[in-house]
Chains A and B, each alone.
Chain A
Amino acid sequence: DVKVTQSSRYLVKRTGEKVFLECVQDMDHENMFWYRQDPGLGLRLIYFSYDVKMKEKGDIPEGYSVSREKKERFSLILESASTNQTSMYLCASSFLYGGDKETQYFGPGTRLLVL
């Protein structure tokens, strides 16, 4: 079974803090993705990575950065958290090649509250 785990289910941070959200997958997937989910807005892609040390901007990268130092781990960083970054953050992973390459496997999400 594919497993995508996220470091926290719930997180409360203060405005201006640096926040790290960690995601780990155990399927040797090349691709990893960070989304944010807000009511009525669906899933919006923040960043994705198709290989170690590679990153691509998604639709809403402003205020975020990412790090992929190992294949199984993809970190989302909020350099200086703001209240408008209060949201649900979802990590996903998938193969880049092969028959199953377009199926994304999601983690359970991290609900972040910025006060």
Chain B
Amino acid sequence: GENVEQHPSTLSVQEGDSAVIKCTYSDSASNYFPWYKQELGKGPQLIIDIRSNVGEKKDQRIAVTLNKTAKHFSLHITETQPEDSAVYFCARGSTLGRLYFGRGTQLTVWP
């Protein structure tokens, strides 16, 4: 009930194409779903998040969608650029500010 499943584990796309990463969870009480980006040699950094009262949220080239009934949420990156290459983690919120993370997706954008 605590795990977050994340797919795919690796993703390669051509510059300009779109990238989609999907996560599923089982705890129906979850209502907060952030996405973190980790660049090489750095700690993860929040890029976008969504709460359960919203179905979609956009911030320029990135968007997150949430289907609470099906218990899955996805990160969409459009017009990918080489600087989007990183490891992306989805997570779900829990009590006391704890986050449960997925295992990560290594995104590579080829020029």
Contacts and interface: CB of A to CB of B under 8 A. Distances in A.
B44 A90 contact: yes
A90 B43 contact: yes
A107 B34 contact: no
B50 to A, nearest CB: 11
Interface in B9-62: 9, 32, 34, 36, 41-46, 49
A45 B41 CA distance: 20
A44 B102 CA distance: 9
A101 B97 contact: yes
Contacts of A101: 97
B101 A42 contact: yes
Interface in A89-108: 90, 92, 94-96, 101-104, 106-108
Contacts of B93: 102
Given A102-B34, A103-B34, A45 B43 contact: no
Interface residues of A, number: 26
Contacts of B49: 102-103
Interface in B42-101: 42-46, 49, 89, 93, 96-99, 101
A4 B97 contact: no
A41 B103 contact: yes
Contacts of A107: 43
A74 interface: no
Contact of A43 (B9, B42, B101): B101
A44 B100 CA distance: 8
Interface in A50-68: 50, 56, 58
B43 A4 contact: yes
A108 B42 CA distance: 5
B102 A42 contact: yes
A75 interface: no
B103 A42 contact: yes
A67 B9 CA distance: 34
Interface in A15-58: 31, 33, 40-45, 48, 50, 56, 58
B102 A48 contact: no
Interface hub of A42, A48, A106 (most chain B Cβ within 10 A)? A42
